[in-house]
């Protein structure tokens, strides 16, 4: 039984990613297609790897974090190590996002205060008599 293979164009179209991005992930050692002359032949595992990278990027994981998760991929072992690691990374990412939300709320308050002060200063300046020299 032969396993499905994909060209770089197939993966690009199917996953809505540029061929340049696919080559970048290959250069980073995340993908290892076979070569037939100049043609790259990607395996089903390469496709899964790309999907994991894209999913990881969507939820804010760094490429290094994606690499760590991919290195734990073991379809024969039920992927429990990968899943535990993924849960830990999700918890970390949630904590980072919650801190960013608090930081943004604080920044909003500071902007409100700065805006009020500017508006008060403008109102005071427009009430003052103009001096003509």
pLDDT in tens, 94-126: 999 999 999 999 999 999 999 999 999 999 988
pLDDT in tens, 7-40: 999 999 999 999 999 999 999 999 999 999 989 9
Q: What per-residue confidence (pLDDT) applies to 77?
A: 65
The angle at the Cα of 68, spanning 63 to 74, to the nearest 5 degrees, equals 130
Strands of 1-133 (E only): list them.
5-6, 34-36, 39-43
CA distance 35 to 42: 9
Q: Which residues contact 86 (CB under 8 A, 6 or more apart)?
A: 69
SS3 29: coil
- Domain ranges (residues) in the chain: 5-71
Cβ atoms of residues 26 and 32 within 8 Å: yes
* pTM more than 0.75: no
34 bridge partner residues: 41
Looking up tokens 């690691």 gives 85
* Domain 5-71 is found in CATH 1.10.1660.10: yes
| Residue-by-residue DSSP string for 82-127 | HHHHHHHHHHHHHHHHHHHHHHHHHHHHHHHHHHHHHHHHHHHHHH
The region of weakest confidence among 23-27, 57-61, 73-77 is 73-77
CA distance 128 to 120: 12
């Amino acid at each position: 039984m032969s396993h499905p293979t994909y060209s770089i164009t197939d993966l690009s179209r199917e996953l809505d990613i540029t061929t340049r991005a696919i080559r970048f992930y290959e250069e980073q050692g995340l993908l290892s297609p076979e070569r037939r002359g100049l043609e790259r032949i990607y395996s089903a595992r390469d496709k899964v790897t790309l999907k994991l990278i894209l999913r990881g990027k969507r939820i804010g994981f760094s490429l290094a974090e994606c690499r760590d998760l991919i290195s734990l991929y073991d379809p024969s072992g039920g992927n429990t190590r990968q899943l535990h690691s993924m849960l830990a990374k999700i918890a970390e990412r949630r904590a980072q996002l919650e801190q960013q939300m608090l930081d943004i709320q604080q920044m909003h308050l500071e902007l409100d205060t700065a805006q009020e002060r500017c508006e008060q200063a403008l109102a005071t300046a427009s009430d003052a008599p103009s001096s003509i020299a």
